[in-house]
Amino acid sequence: MSSLELDDFTDLIERPDGGVRRDAEARRERRIVPPGALGRLDELGEWLAAARGTVPVRPVERPRVVLFAGDHGVAGLGVSARPAGGAEQLVRAVLEGASPVSVLARRLEVPVRVVDMALDCAPDALPKDVSRYRVRRGSGRIDIEDALTPEEAEAALRAGIAVADEEADSGTDLVVLGDVSVGGTTPAAVLIAALCGTDASVVTGRGGVAIDDLAWMRKCAAIRDALRRARPVLGDQLQLLATVGGADLAAMTGFLLQCAVRKLPVILDGVVAAACALVAQRVAFRAPDWWLAGHASGEPGQAKALDRMALEPLLDQGVKVGEGVGALLALPLVRSAAALAAELPEKPEELAEPEEPETEQVPETEGTEQFPE
């Protein structure tokens, strides 16, 4: 996909319906609950009404968790507490229902979809519906080489677009977006540092499974080296993803852009989703209007990216595990906001504030003093 085609997303993506949002705000003013009493839930319900184009807002009935999976060559440097190439086991745990996101998804009755983009395992090691979009086996070591070839980056981004279309066409009405990766927070930090113009130390976190100080220093050095490779290609977002991203990150970027085109709201999970959202924002500035930040993961890079996009996390529970868990925890909050916005009754007419009567203006008499001495 050429940069010209990426630029087309700017014209394809519209903002959520402003007229519907104003109608939702007016409805809030008429409800029996005083304005402001429900805090951010009011704002959330109005955002969802605008995104879905209806007042009262329709309930979220068909949400779905979508997880993009991949291994990253930079994990071989010891920047992660998990073994390099170990994302396959994480994916298996999700598919077998033994991971945190699987447990929550069962309880909330939300289906989970895993999309293998670059796992370091044999292509037939996982079900075909999981691996049919795979681009390569593992992404390159970004401190010394490109993560992907330009052709692979294009294929990954197109795969993300295709997955978004499949979800929209199947009736999914809200997506919880996350990743299943080993080493993925390192390229995410590189992308955020490059796009925000910050140093490696500002965005280097300790990952979902906290690393020790020595591993943190190795990670910081890898991000610093990758940043040198990223800066010359900052003007080309597809080349940036090929240079210091990865197949899963490129796919998530395409997915986010196409969800905005299809007017499909997304709840972002952790730092990897935030990094891809930041790249997508560079492509199409209106795209973030279709996303929510599910939670604060504690990763400094995520905080930096969300601040740049003016997205405030809905929750802060210290969840660092990734895999969409923090974003999925925010789903009941979104559903609650929709229910309150749609179902709370309006004030009876006799309790509504009466309009102030117009006062008759007494015209001044020309040449007459109104207040004589």
- The CATH label, of 1.10.533, 2.20.28, 1.25.40, 1.10.1610, for the domain at 3-56+342-351 is 1.10.1610
Query: Do 256 and 233 form a contact (C-beta atoms < 8 A)?
Result: no
At 248, is the secondary structure helix, strand, or coil? helix
Q: Can you give the pLDDT at residue 364?
A: 52
Residue 361, pLDDT score: 56
Helices (H), 87-131: 87-95, 100-108, 128-131
The reply to whether domains 3-56+342-351 and 63-335 share a CATH topology is no
Structure tokens at 38: 């429900």
- Quote the pLDDT of residue 81: 85
21 vs 39: CA distance, rounded Å: 17
> Residue ranges per domain, the chain?
3-56+342-351, 63-335
The identity of residue 179, as a single letter, is D
Exactly one of 323, 364, 366, 373 is catalytic; name it: 323
Q: What's the confidence (pLDDT) of residue 359?
A: 55
- Rg for the chain, CA atoms, rounded: 24
- What residues contact residue 284 under an 8 Å CB cut-off, 6+ apart? 9, 10, 12, 13, 257, 260
pTM comes to: 0.90
Q: What angle do CA 223, 228, 230 make, to 5 degrees?
A: 85
pLDDT of residue 74: 95
Q: Is 364 a catalytic residue?
A: no
What's the pLDDT score for residue 321?
87
Instruction: State pLDDT tens for residues 312-339.
Output: 999 998 898 889 999 999 999 999 999 9
- Kindly give the interhelix angle for 247-261 and 150-170, rounded to the nearest 10 degrees: 40
CATH classification for the domain delimited by 63-335, as one of 3.40.50.300, 3.30.70.270, 1.10.3720.10, 3.40.50.10210? 3.40.50.10210
Say how many C-beta atoms besides its own lie within 10 A of residue 358's C-beta.
Answer: 6
**Cβ-count burial 161-177 (b if 16+ within 10 Å, e if not):** bbbbbebbeeebbbbbb
Segments of the chain with pLDDT less than 50: 1-4, 365-373
Which pLDDT does position 300 carry in this prediction? 94
Which residue, 216, 226, 228, 221, is CA-closest to 249?
A: 226
Whole-number pLDDT of residue 3 = 47
